Chain A
Amino acid sequence: MTKEKRQITIFLIFSFVLLVIPFSLRESYLLNVMVFIGIHTMLAVALNLLMGYAGQISLGHAAFFGMGAYISGIFTTRFGLDPWLVIIMAALCAAAIAFAMGFPILKLKGHYLAMATLGFGIIIYIIFNETVNWTGGPSGLSGIPNLKIGELVFDNDFHNYYLVWIITLGVMLLSINLSQSRIGRALRAVHDSEVAARVMGINAWVLKVQIFTVSAFISAMAGSLYAHTMTFVAPASFGFNFSVELVTMVVVGGLGSIYGSFLGAAILTTLPEFLRVFEDFDIIIYGLMLIVITMFMPGGLISGLQLLSQKFFLKFKAKADKGA
């Protein structure tokens, strides 16, 4: 099997499993968790394109997620605009802000970039809180309509599951394609040696701004979906803690792996549901996870899984050879 065929097979199996889950998982609560995993996967993939591929950190990505959620919330509740239209508008708007901001901010490196994105995230968070007339302030914005296509209204977990996962799978597929193209190679080149990448004719600065823009676009889209599935948004979901949670998803799952982002999103979404300690100590636990993973498994859990499956495969092969 060629590498390409294997990848397509993996993606098809992955999609198939996800798309049949609702039929075996009639329990609404678990479906609801899966909807969140989908939204978080989209966000983790978006951040991974920036962090894992281009090697640029963002500690303010929750802001783009929030922009999508609020723009969708505000424009559908106050102006009665078509929700689908607003989703596109919100994503474009977040992308435009990322693009404009990216040029100065992505000149910065390392800690400075981390600080700048952190500051950006905090400013946007304050705006969500303070522009009470628009956002409803700390108490949030409610009454956001569910999405619908014709007669089909996405107003229950079963419907939302498909809404979110079809889009998430699409985002994953496009990101996998991108990561394996000349653009993906250019991103990884900038990550490994920016100076060599530039000598190879890659405009590292512009490329970083472009991927930052794409990342913001996807994040805002996730935010819009979040607003329409929850029908309620409040600033607390888009603060610094959530930005750190996103970084943790990407690192725990695996920098530079799209499936890793799914894994990271799944783990970080499920754990708090079952471990109540998360409620008070979330940021400490994220910190610990980040430290442990960076020290002992820099490729993230997905690299551990790959290693395991390789070992298993080799053993299996050895046995088969012996048998023959």
Chain B
Amino acid sequence: MLRAKNITKTFGGLTALDDVTLNVAAGSITGIIGPNGAGKTTLFNIITGIYTQTAGEVYLDDENISFFPPETLARMGLVRTFQNVEMFGQMTVLENVMVGLHTKSRSGFLSCAFKLPRQIREEKLIKEKSIRWLEFTDMTDLAGMRADSLPFGKSRLLEISRAMALEPRIILLDEPAAGLNSRETLQLAELIRRIRELGITVVLVEHDMDLVMDICETIFVLNLGKKLTQGTPREVQENPAVISAYLGVS
């Protein structure tokens, strides 16, 4: 479904990614792991059109999306969350999710300014759908709260709700469990499974090994910008190269 082919990315003299190839099967939960600075977030940034790669191509269902900007990819059903939570802090939780329905609504400047009947109907629909996505992540009781006053764990959930409102075909999660306590992490695992049950492909960057090993079918291991290996959780766990990368032995 998603294919990143021979991706290289350099920042000045630093090679953040070196000839990395990633294959994500439709309907799977795919994990990407690797020590700090391995290039995981950079890979996400390239796939989602935030950075441009130095070399290589990205395909979504055989369409070359290498140079597509994020807003176009969003309309194609590719969405992500951010490692350093990027919320719309001055808006309420509900409004954040309503922004997620931007591509699903059409009212323009004039119908919004004049509140034409069509716009009022659409607005009502946006609200209803957003509330349903808040139910999906069990956040309805926080709907009226300002997003920047949310506790950290909830703000990660909000990012997921907002991304789900787009009704994506594929969702990229960048360290969704970072900063969560163990109970929240268990709930997250369950949530990710429910997302997959909706037929949505999940790609997950995560440092929490228990979580990754528990829910991913395939795992890619990055180290210092290079792909170390890929395989099932079991294969990856038993791979000596992976163990030494994590222990810092070369």
CB atoms of A185 and B123 under 8 A apart: no
CB atoms of A199 and B74 under 8 A apart: yes
Majority secondary structure of chain A interface residues (helix, strand, loop or mixed) = helix
Q: Is B91 an interface residue (CB 8 A)?
A: yes
CB atoms of A189 and B113 under 8 A apart: no
Q: Is B237 an interface residue (CB 8 A)?
A: no
Q: Is B179 an interface residue (CB 8 A)?
A: no
| A contact residues around B80 at 8 Å (CB) | 199
Interface size counted on chain A using CB atoms at 8 A? 28
Q: Mark B135-171, 1 if CB is under 8 A from A, else 0.
A: 0000000000000000000000000001100100000
| B contact residues around A185 at 8 Å (CB) | 91, 95, 98-99, 102
Q: Is A186 an interface residue (CB 8 A)?
A: yes
CB atoms of A201 and B103 under 8 A apart: yes
Complex Cα spacing A188 to B87, Å: 11
| A contact residues around B122 at 8 Å (CB) | 182
CB atoms of B113 and A177 under 8 A apart: yes
CB atoms of A182 and B102 under 8 A apart: yes
Interface size counted on chain B using CB atoms at 8 A? 38
CB atoms of B71 and A204 under 8 A apart: yes
Q: Is A195 an interface residue (CB 8 A)?
A: yes
| A contact residues around B71 at 8 Å (CB) | 198-199, 201-204
CB atoms of A201 and B166 under 8 A apart: yes
Residues of B at under 8 Å CB distance from A?
48, 50, 69-71, 74-75, 79-80, 82, 86-91, 95, 98-103, 105, 107-109, 112-115, 119, 122-123, 126, 162-163, 166
20 CB < 8 A contacts A-B: A181-B123, A182-B102, A185-B95, A186-B99, A192-B87, A192-B89, A192-B91, A195-B82, A196-B88, A198-B70, A198-B71, A198-B74, A199-B48, A199-B74, A199-B163, A201-B74, A202-B102, A210-B109, A214-B109, A256-B90
Residues of A at under 8 Å CB distance from B?
174-175, 177-178, 181-186, 188-189, 191-193, 195-204, 210, 214, 256
Further 8 A-B residue pairs, CB within 8 A, beyond A198-B71, A201-B102:
A175-B113, A182-B126, A184-B112, A189-B102, A195-B86, A197-B88, A199-B48, A199-B80
